[in-house]
Amino acid sequence: MTQLPSADGPAGSPAASVALAVTGLSVAYGNVVAVHDATFTVTEGDACAITGPNGNGKSSILMGVTGMLRRRGQVAIFGAPAKNGDVKWAARHGLTLVPERRQLYPDLTTEDNIILGCYTWTRSIGKARRSDAYGRAIELFPELKPHLKQVAGTLSGGQQQMVAIARGLAANPKILAVDEPCLGLAEAVAKRVYDVLAQIHAAGTTLIVVEEAPRRALTLCNRRVEVRNGIAVDSRGDAVPPGDTPDPDGPYPPRNAA
Amino acid sequence: MKFGNLIIAGITTGSIYAMFAVCVAVWYRVSNILNLAVGDFAMVGALGVDNLYRVKGLPLPAAIITTLAVVAVFAYLYDQVVLRIAQDGRRPIEGIVVTFFFTFALSFFIDGVAKVLFGTDVHAAPTLWSGPSLTLGSLNFERSGLLVLACALIIGGAFWLYIKFTLGGKALEASGENSVGARIVGIDTRQYRRLIFVGTAVIAAVFGIVESPITGFTYLSGATISLTGFIAAAYGGFRKPGRALVAGLSIGVLEALLGGYVSAEYGDTVLYAILAAAILAWPRALGFESAVSG
C-alpha cells in the first residue's frame, strides 16, 4: 500500500488536536442495526471521507454523531463528551451537519434558509445578519446572490445544495459534516460543489464528507473511513489511493456480488 | 349605503373567522395536528369572564386576566401531558386522522366541564366598550365590531412582524416547513408546538371575550367557531396562515352580502354551496390537494 505524502495541511502533524473522537458508535432503527461499533477519530484540519456502498450506514454514522439519531457509544467533540441526541449541543460545540437531500425550507427565501443556520448560536436576527459566519456563507456563493429573495423550493438542485452548505457555514462550524453533497447533481455542478468544499477546508474548517463515489471524495480528502455492512474501518492515516477500491469510478458493486 | 354597511359587518365577522383560521393553520404547520378545540377556548374565554364578573363578582380586569391565565395553564398542561406522551415518545402517533382525535376529545372535555360550570344558557362577556354605534356619513360602526377589528389587526400584525422580522419567527416557519431541517440548526420543534398551542388558545379566548357581546355564547358554541375556522383554514391547505386569513375575511364578507341581498334565511345555504363549488372547480389552486396528501 502506497503512502501518500501528507503535504496538505496539518493532518498527520502530531501537534494537531483531535476534533472528533468516535468510540464504539452504534446506531439502530428499531431492531435494524445500521452502524455497529464504529470507532474512528478526525484530527483538526483533516478532510475525512466516509465512503462505502449505499445503504451500509455512512449517513447513519453522521446522524448518530451529530445527535439527529440516538446512538450508543461515545462521541467527543474537541475533547468534550457530546450529549446523546442533542443536535444543538453538537452545533454549539462546532459540529454542523449538511444533511443528505439538503432538508431546506422550501417556502422560505434563500436568504432566510441561510440565516437560520445562525439559530444555533443566536436568537437576534440583527446579530445574525452582521456576523462574519453569515457574511462568509453568502460571499462563498456568488451564484446565489441574484436568488437571495427567491423561495428555496424553486432553485435548481445544485443551487439548493449550495444553500444547504451556506446554511451549515452560517452556524460557524469548526467541523462541517457534509452528507452526499453531489447526489443527483450534474458532473459540472458536482465539481463546483467540491471546489467550494476545498475552499472551506483551505480556510481552516475540518471536513467530513460522506460520499458513495470514493474517487471524487479522495480528490479532496486526506483520509478516509470505509464503511461496509455497518462496520467502519478506519484507514488510520493518509488517504487510501483510489486504486485500492474495487471500482474507483463510482458506485460499489452490489453488497452480495462475488 | 346598505352595501357599505354590509361590507363593514362582513369584515367584522370575517376577521373573527380569519383569526380562528390563522390559529388553526399556524398550529397545524408546527404540529401536524388540526386543533378542533380552538373554538372551545373562545367559549371558555367568553363564559369564564361572564361567570367570574357577573356571578362571582370579580372586577372586570381581574376576571379577564384570571380567565386568560386559566386557559394558558390548561393549554400548557395539555401539551405537556397528552401531546408529549402521544408525540414525543419512542413511537410517535402520526397521521392527520388519528391526531385529529386528540383535540376532538379535548373539545368534548372542555364542553362537558363548561356545561357544569356555566350552565346551558346563552351568556356573553360584558361589553368592553359600550355606547351608541359610531357613524361616518351613512356608515354605521358598532363599537363591539370595531373592538374585534382592532384586536384582529393588533394580534395579526404582531404575529406578522414576528414571522417577518425575527429569527425566532423564521425558526417557527422553518419547523413547520421541514422538521428534520429545523432540528439540524438546533430548532426545538416541540418548544414551538407548545408556544403556538398556548398562544393560539389565549388568542382564541381573547376573541371569545370581545366577540361574545355580538353573538352570545353557550357551552356548545365552540364547535361552530372551530368549524368556520376550519373551513377558512382548509382554503390554504391548513398550512398557509396568509391564505387562511384571506379566506376567513372573504367568507365573512360573502356571508354578509348574501344575507343582505339574496336571502336572510338561505344566505348560509347559498354561501356553503358557493364554497363547495369553488373547491370542486379549483381543488389544486385552493390548496385542497396538499391538505389531503400531506
Confidence at residue A100, expressed as pLDDT on a 0 to 100 scale: 92
Q: Reply yes or no on whether the pLDDT at A165 is more than 70.
A: yes
CB contact under 8 A, A116 and B185: yes
At residue A236, the pLDDT reads: 52
Average pLDDT over every residue of B260-272: 85
**Predicted local distance difference test score (pLDDT) of residue A241:** 43
Query: Complex ipTM, two decimals?
Result: 0.82
Cβ proximity of B110 and B103 under 8 Å:
no
Of A66, A116, A171, the CB nearest to B171: A116
- Cell digits of residue B172: 417557527
Q: Does B181 touch chain A (CB under 8 A)?
A: yes
Give yes or no for a contact between A209 and A178, defined as CB atoms under 8 angstroms apart: yes
What per-residue confidence (pLDDT) applies to B84? 84
B179-233 tens-digit pLDDT:
899 999 999 988 899 999 999 999 999 999 999 998 889 999 999 888 888 889 9
Instruction: Find out whether A234 and A39 touch, Cβ atoms under 8 Å.
Output: yes
Q: Tens of pLDDT along A60-90? A: 999 999 999 999 999 999 999 999 989 999 9
Q: How close is the nearest chain B Cα to the Cα of A115, in Å?
A: 8
In this prediction, residue B224 carries a pLDDT of 86
Distance CA B210, CA B155 (A): 13
CB contact (8 A) between residue B177 and residue A115: no
Residues 6+ apart with CB under 8 A from A2: A241
Q: How many CA atoms lie within 13 A of A182 on its CB side?
A: 23
Minimum mean pLDDT among A67-71, A117-121, B7-11, B130-134: which range? Answer: B130-134
Terminal-to-terminal C-alpha distance of chain B: 45
DSSP state for residue A123 in the 8-state scheme? S
Percent of chain A, pLDDT > 90? 66
User: Which residues in chain A have their CB less than 8 angstroms from residue B177's CB?
Assistant: 105-108
Q: How far apart are CA B52 and CA B48, in angstroms?
A: 6
Q: How far does the CA of residue A3 sit from the closest CA of chain B (Å)?
A: 37
Closest CA to A133 of A148, A146, A147, A122: A122
Q: Where are the alpha helices (DSSP H) in A102-250?
A: 110-115, 125-130, 132-139, 157-170, 187-202, 214-218
Q: How far apart are the first and last CA of chain A?
A: 23
Dihedral (CA of B281, B282, B287, B292) sign: positive
| 3-state helix/strand/coil string of chain B | CHHHHHHHHHHHHHHHHHHHHHHHHHHHHHHCCCCCCHHHHHHHHHHHHHHHHHHCCCCHHHHHHHHHHHHHHHHHHHHHHHHHHHHCCCCCCCCHHHHHHHHHHHHHHHHHHHHHHHCCCCECCCCCCCCCCEEECCEEECHHHHHHHHHHHHHHHHHHHHHHHCHHHHHHHHHHHCHHHHHHCCCCHHHHHHHHHHHHHHHHHHHHHHHHHHHCECCCHHHHHHHHHHHHHHCCCCCCHHHHHHHHHHHHHHHHHHHHHHCCCCHHHHHHHHHHHHHHHCCCCCCHHHHHHC
Q: Cβ(B83)–Cβ(B74) under 8 Å?
A: no
pLDDT at A136: 94
Closest chain A residue to B171, measured at CA:
A116
Can you give the pLDDT at residue A239? 43
Residues of A in contact with B182 (CB under 8 A): 105
Q: Which of A97, A108, A128 is closest, CB to CB, to B184?
A: A97
pLDDT band at B290, cuts 50/70/90?
low
- Region A248-257: mean pLDDT is 45
Does pLDDT of A255 surpass 70? no
Task: Give per-residue pLDDT as tens, B40-60.
Answer: 999 999 999 999 999 999 999
Distance CA A125, CA B170 (A): 9
What share of chain B has pLDDT > 90, as a percent? 51
Q: What is the mean pLDDT of residues B264-273?
A: 85
pLDDT value of residue A235? 61
Interface membership of A178 toward B (CB under 8 Å):
no
Q: Set out the domains of chain B in order of their start, with CATH numbers.
A: 2-293 (1.10.3470)
Three-class HEC string of B191-260: HHHHHHHHHHHHHHHHHHHHHHHHHCECCCHHHHHHHHHHHHHHCCCCCCHHHHHHHHHHHHHHHHHHHH
Inform me whether the pLDDT recorded for A254 exceeds 50.
no
pLDDT greater than 50 at residue B117? yes
Q: Residue B263 has what pLDDT?
A: 83
**Does the pLDDT value for residue A213 go beyond 70?**
yes
Mean pLDDT of all residues in A210-219 = 86
For helices B241-257 and B267-281, the axis angle rounded to 10 degrees is 140
Higher per-residue confidence, A233 vs B174: B174
Paired with B230 in beta bridges are none
Interface size A-B, in CB pairs within 8 Å, comes to 69
Mean pLDDT of A90-105: 94
Q: Which of A107, A120, A125 sits opposite B186 (nearest CB)?
A: A120
Taking the Cβ of residue B183 and every Cβ of chain A, the question of whether any pair is shorter than 8 Å is answered with: yes
Instruction: Kindly state the DSSP code that residue A151 receives in the 8-state scheme.
Output: B
**Consecutive H or E run containing A61:** helix A58-66
Q: For position B287, what pLDDT does the model report?
A: 66
Q: What is the pLDDT of residue B83?
A: 85
Q: Say whether B177 and A105 touch across the interface (CB within 8 A).
A: yes
What pLDDT is recorded for position B294?
Answer: 40
Q: At what angle do helices B38-50 and B2-31 cross, to 10 degrees?
A: 120
Looking at every residue in chain B, the average pLDDT score rounds to: 88
A258 or B71: whose pLDDT is higher? B71
Q: Any CB–CB contact under 8 A between B185 and chain A?
A: yes
Q: pLDDT confidence of B141, banded at 50, 70, 90?
A: confident
pLDDT at A91 over 80: yes
The radius of gyration of chain B's CA atoms, rounded to the nearest angstrom, is 19
Residue with cell 363547495: B276
More confident residue, B1 or A230: A230
DSSP-derived 3-state class of residue A134: helix
CA angle B246/B127/B54 to nearest 5° reads: 130
Which position has the higher pLDDT, A7 or A148?
A148
**Residue A197 confidence (pLDDT):** 96
Q: What is the pTM of this model?
A: 0.83
- Return residues 182-201 of A near B (CB < 8 Å): none
Q: What is the pLDDT of residues B46-98, one digit of tens each?
A: 999 999 999 999 999 999 999 999 999 999 999 999 888 887 776 777 777 77
Q: What is the pLDDT of residue A209?
A: 95
Please determine, for residue B265, whether its predicted confidence score (pLDDT) is greater than 70.
Answer: yes
* Cα–Cα distance, B115 to B112 (Å, whole number): 5
Where is pLDDT greater, at B89 or B130?
B130
pLDDT over 50 (residue A256): no
Please, are residues A193 and A209 in contact by the beta-carbon 8 Å criterion?
A: no
Domain limits of chain A?
Answer: 1-94+222-242
Question: For residue A2, how many other CB atoms are within 10 A of its CB?
Answer: 9
Residue-level pLDDT at A3: 43
Neighbours of B246 (CB within 10 A): 16
pLDDT given for residue A191 in this prediction: 92
Helix/strand/coil for A181: coil
Q: How many CA atoms lie within 13 A of B287 on its CB side?
A: 17
Note whether A22 and A75 are within 8 A (CB). Answer: yes
CATH topology of domain A1-94+222-242: Rossmann fold (3.40.50)
Give me the pLDDT at residue B140, please: 82
Q: Is the pLDDT of residue A233 over 90?
A: no
